[in-house]
Structure 1
Amino acid sequence: MSRFRSLWQASVNATKKALTWELEEWVPPVEKCIFKFNSKEDLKTWHLYSDSEYGGLSSASLEIKDGGNRSDCNGVFSGNLSTDMREGSKWNINRSGFCGMRSKKFDGFIDLEGYDSIALRLKGDGRCYISTFQFRYILRTG
């Protein structure tokens, strides 16, 4: 029911937008920030996970690193990777070692119509990592 309500609300919003014909609403801004890490509230929209859910010994954390200026606030993801497993784990795994984060489900949509790319601003520690990004979209017909 919630998904139908979200689709219906998006349709109503698009219809209102079409009827107002204000040029500013039809031209997207140069950039659109989708996720921010400016407050502890922003961190609550993320789910942290690691192999500890399967008997592993890795851990993950996400915190705000404040640069002193509000625009310098950064979300800092960190993890401790371990290939070891807990003794007596119910899972038949010899070794592991992963941690990550993903956004929690949210109602509504992120309207990216008018944009043709997504940019990520990341800073690493010089080591190699694997990242996976998943986007779900709705195709409009007719």
Structure 2
Amino acid sequence: MSRFRGILQASLNATKKDLVPPTERFIFNFNSKDELKKWHLYSDSEYGGIFSGNLSLDFIEGAKLKINRSGFCGMRSKKFDGFIDLDPYDTIALKVKGDGRCYISTIYTENWVNSPGQEEDNSWQAFVFVPKDNWYIAKIPLARYLPTWRGNVIDAEMEMNPSRVVGMSLSVNAEGGLPGARTGAGDFKLEIDWIKALRT
């Protein structure tokens, strides 16, 4: 009987080793045109994962949409085919080179809030300060992502469901962000090498 238990325990230990996910997982690797096709780009961009443009605080006369602020630009991944399960991970890492601005990293999860009239995915946002001119690996704990609705933090106790991630985005605002970051109208440029999930 003890020999059987020993074999069973050895088998379980071997299985556990096979079931443990790697300590990191590529979500996006911006090294090919096919990879870039996975994103909706809402600004000037080039092959190689460059997100760039010019932020303006001016309003366009006669615009179809009524807005009360400007100076915003973003790029969003196309909705994943199914879900990405980030439950085994605790951190999002981005290898970026920027311009001293503060960017916004957004994770979209399946909508489970069921708010009346809200059919959009849940969005979770965190600031990413990107130093100027040098490649930098920004690490954002998943716990730092806050629930948002149209760019505003929701004042509610909610927890992200990291096993049901349906997309991601990066955006920039002319105003706001972290202290010390460059703000205001003008050019912006963010180069992105990859985005990974990490278990730290």
Specify the code of the residue in structure 2 equivalent to 1:131: I
- Which is further off, 109-118 or 29-38? 109-118
CA distance 1:121–1:26, change in 2 (3 Å):
same
Please point out which of 111, 114, 130 is paired with 2:85.
111
Instruction: Quote the offset at 1:133 in angstroms.
Output: 1.5
Structure 1 stretches (4+) deviating beyond 6 angstroms? Answer: none
Structure number with the higher helix fraction is 1
Provide the C-alpha distance between the structure 2 equivalents of 1:46 and 1:119, rounded to a whole number of angstroms. Answer: 18
In structure 2, the partner of 1:33 is: 26
1:42 aligns with 2:16: no
What amino acid is the match of 2:77?
S
Aligned to 2:76: 102
After TM superposition, list the pairs within 5 Å mapping 1:1-142 onto structure 2: 22=15, 25-49=18-42, 60-65=43-48, 75-93=49-67, 96-127=70-101, 129-136=102-109, 137=161, 138=163
Task: Select the structure that is richer in strand.
Answer: 2
Give the CA deviation at 1:117.
2.1
Q: Tell me how far apart the structure 1 counterparts of residues 44 and 58 of structure 2 sit (CA, whole Å).
A: 19
The CA distance in 1 between the partners of 2:83 and 2:69, in whole Å, is 38
Supply the distance in 2 between the matched residues of 1:89 and 1:135 (Cα, whole angstroms): 28
Query: Displacement, 1:94?
Result: 6.8
TM-score between both structures, scaled by the size of structure 2: 0.41
Could you say what the CA RMSD is over the residues aligned between the two structures, in angstroms? 2.7
Give the match's secondary structure for 2:51: strand
Q: 5+ residue gaps in structure 1?
A: 1-20, 50-59, 66-74
Q: TM-score, normalised by structure 1?
A: 0.55
Report how far residue 31 of structure 1 moved: 1.6
Q: CA deviation at 1:77?
A: 0.7
State the identity %: 59
